[in-house]
Amino acid sequence: MKSQSWLWSLIAVLVLAGGSYGVFVLFGEEPLPQGIVYGNGHIEGREVRIAAEVAGRVIEHHLAEGSKVSAGDTVAVIDPADARDRLRSAQAELASAREVRDGFDSQITTWRHHLKNAEKQRQRIRDLRSRNLASSSDLDEAENAVSEARGRLESLQRQKDAAEEQVAARAAQVALAESQLDKAEVAAPLSGTILIRAVETGEVVDTGQPLATMVNLQQLELKVYVPGDILNRISLGDPARIRVDGLPGDFSAKVGRIDDFAQFTPRDVHMPDERVRMVYGVTLVLDNPADALKPGMPADAWIRWDPDAEWPATLSVPAR
């Protein structure tokens, strides 16, 4: 009697196991075809911090979180009063330096004329001296006149060169002041969306202080991780498909970067083979023209590293 009970129990277990396997075969997800690898991660965007290049009080801004801006748009204005004062002062110093420099021109012209006359007089005295019609003191006096004119001319030229250097220095100060005035209007470095506003109108900011953080939502990234035995098969530009829960359809992407170093599997990343501990990061680049994707969204990805492999009708997530 006990042997029959044991036999019936064994049969029941076998029937249950067979039924379970049948259900798995009928309803279980098909494995990925050779040439396609799965990964998952979170959608990311390249964040750019907009910072002040000059210090001062913010008198205006257009940094509403979620608003779109184009590259070159003015997103904030820092009080330009001090910059304007510095520019006017620099321009006045430049004008004064040019006036000093130009004042040497007339003096140099005058002394060139004196030198030319002194050289003519010296030659006349030399001719007279050769005929004993002029004394040696007359010749010495003529020679001294030439030396004096030449020395004076050289001195004036050196002073003019120094004045020219002062003009160049003052011109550089004007250019710097103009640049500082231009920087009072803070422009968006690229086209994108304002994520975080870090300043309010009326606040005083320092040079380099972040005013906002923006991201280009039109081009996003997804970093997935693959084991080392797959890494060498993946190439830049390989096509990929991305799926996000709650959004219809798949998004097209391509491999944009491949890490050249291994790391331990991040905690929030699921690997089909849990025995894999060391993985390599692969960054997928995807377009987001409709702004449907947002940074931080969890996503599944499939990379086709074999160009001969066909995309399956249904992309499945490997069982955890």
| 6 domain-assigned | no
> Do 116 and 103 share a domain, yes or no?
yes
Q: Does 168 lie in the same domain as 99?
A: yes
CATH of the domain at 221: 2.40.30.170
Do 68 and 89 fall within a single domain?
no
Q: Do 154 and 269 belong together in one domain?
A: no
Indicate whether 2 belongs to any domain: no
Q: Give the CA distances from residue 294 to residues 31, 122, 154, 237, in Å, rounded to whole numbers and listed in that order.
A: 29, 90, 72, 23
Question: For residue 146, is it within any domain?
Answer: yes
Task: Tally the domains of the chain.
Answer: 3
Q: What's 65's domain CATH number?
A: 2.40.50.100
Question: Among residues 159, 182, 205, which one ends one of the domains?
Answer: 182
Phi-psi region of 296 (alpha: psi -120 to 50; beta: other; left: phi over 0): left
- How far apart (Å, rounded) are the C-alpha atoms in residues 118 and 124? 10
The CATH number covering residue 139 comes to 1.20.120
pLDDT per residue of the chain (320 residues) written in tens, 0 to 9: 445 555 555 555 455 555 444 443 444 455 777 889 999 999 998 889 999 999 999 999 999 998 999 999 999 999 999 999 999 999 999 999 999 998 888 888 888 898 899 889 888 888 888 888 878 888 888 889 889 889 988 998 999 999 999 999 999 999 999 999 999 999 999 888 999 999 999 999 999 999 999 998 888 999 999 888 888 899 999 999 999 988 888 999 999 999 988 887 666 665 555 555 678 899 999 988 788 898 889 999 999 999 988 888 888 887 65
Domain assignment present for 93: yes
Which domain, by its residues, includes 126?
A: 81-182
Angle at 270 between CA 30 and CA 319, to 5 degrees: 25
Assess whether 57 and 191 both reside in one domain.
Answer: yes
Question: Alpha carbon of 57 to those of 4, 50, 82: distances in Å?
Answer: 92, 16, 10
| Residue 86 placed within a domain | yes
Residue 243 lies in a domain: yes
92 and 173 in a single domain? The answer is: yes
Global pTM exceeds 0.75: no
Residue 248 lies in a domain: yes
Strand partners for 240: 253, 303
**In terms of domains, do 73 and 203 share one?**
yes
